[in-house]
Amino acid sequence: MMDLNRIFTNQRTGNNSPTKASRTDFQRDFDRIIFSSAFRRLQNKTQVFPLPGSAFVHNRLTHSLEVSSVGRSLGSVMGEHLHERFRNDLTEEAKSFYLHSLGNVIAAACLCHDVGNPAFGHSGEDAIASYFERNESDLKPKFSEKEWADLVNFEGNANAIRVLAQQQQGKDEGGIQLTFSTLAAIAKYPCEAIARNKGILHRKKFGFFQNEKDIFLEIAGETRMITESEEPFIFKRHPFVWLVEAADDICYNIIDMEDAHRLGIVSTADCKNLFFELVKSESDDIRRIEDKLRSISNENEQISYLRAKVINALINRSVEIYKLTIGKILEGNLEHALLDLYKSENKTLQDIESFSIEKIYNHKAVVEIENAGYNVMYELLDHFIPSIIKHEDERKAYDKKALKLIPQQFVYKEGTDYQKVLGVIDFVSGMTDNYATDLYRKIKGIDIGMTV
């Protein structure tokens, strides 16, 4: 059983001592993420739909901001609940943390939960993983078994820990130096890649690369995560993870539908009916909501109003489920995400998921960008990785020219092949959709001309 008095800390990566300032350490986490280049690049990374021009839909940055808003609500409400429910067991420091700071931790974690995701959504992740799968005979002998598992299972969640916490060439130790509490809250899959098991929630994917293993062990130790295995390392989820995951699940389940409506992919009637049915199943004042809808003539505004009501309903339901399952969460034994538990008993949420898969995620425009993104990311890796793993004496002129395109903070000249390859992945996965496409067109000779 995890001790609520010991699962949070203001200790940061990079061995920085906590500072006394008008902002708490957890508020400083939020601010550091906002001002980081990794977060800024999310503004031009696909959420679901390709950036469509005149119709404004969500990108990774606007998605992350909205998830953070929902996460702050979840964290604040649950912090108050934990403060009251366990007040006799909590230290004064813990009481203050849950009452005043848990919302900030969850908000900060939600804000950075996607910073490890490459351009073009999940197809970018697939492209990186499949690059190594398709070149296994040439590449696998250069890596250990665990290193190879990292590469062929490339995962945005693990990459987020690397982006946020690792020291790049020429930069400060500890990445952007977040607290271990915030970093623990984004670790949905706290295990090594070799321990992946799709049938087990906390091992469905993996949470850290071998290169960041020591950093992750420090995060796990300082936040008292339960150790399930030491070889390979597997931990139970930290209790804060469930709130970050719920905030993300609430937003993408609902807001992808609203985006699809704005693009004309989903009809007003379908979207309105699905949202209204979900609100109706959770509201005691449905007549007032109906009256409000009748007073709004603009269809987009009607959907926005219902979307807000749906999100509020799902926040309240997630809080109730967290309260009911807190015992299992602290034991590390809860086996289903909070929203999945609710979905199992709510047919409308099931219908929204089925509708989204059929009408949105398999829509032609989405599939086209996934195919294009896959090819762009694959070809970029293929341009750089064969050159970076050659010994300097064996590099031809074209290898040297290719490597001149990689910024120096991503070039680990004295590193192992694994570290050199991770540097290339850092460069490619950090690209925005537009930058990746532009570089692809240039190195392929599709666009030729000088740009500064």
The 3-state DSSP class for residue 90 equals coil
- Tens-binned pLDDT, residue by residue, of the chain (452 aa): 899 999 999 988 876 565 555 578 999 999 999 999 999 999 888 776 655 454 566 788 999 999 999 999 999 999 999 999 999 999 999 999 999 999 999 999 999 999 999 988 888 999 999 999 999 999 999 999 999 999 999 999 999 999 999 866 656 566 789 999 999 999 999 999 999 999 999 999 999 999 999 999 999 999 999 999 999 999 999 999 999 999 999 998 898 888 888 888 888 898 999 999 888 887 778 888 888 888 998 888 999 999 999 999 999 999 999 999 999 999 999 999 999 999 998 888 898 888 888 888 888 877 888 898 899 999 999 999 999 999 989 999 999 999 999 999 899 988 999 999 999 999 999 999 999 999 999 999 887 765 65
Q: What integer pLDDT is reported at residue 54 of this predicted model? A: 46
The 3-state DSSP class for residue 234 equals strand
Q: Is 229 left (phi over 0), alpha (psi -120 to 50) or beta?
A: beta
Q: What integer pLDDT is reported at residue 199 of this predicted model? A: 95
Distance CA 322, CA 277 (A): 23
Environment class of residue 39 by beta-carbon count within 10 Å: exposed (0-12), middle (13-18) or buried (19+)?
buried
Q: What integer pLDDT is reported at residue 369 of this predicted model? A: 81
Whole-angstrom distance between the N-terminal and C-terminal Cα of the chain? 57
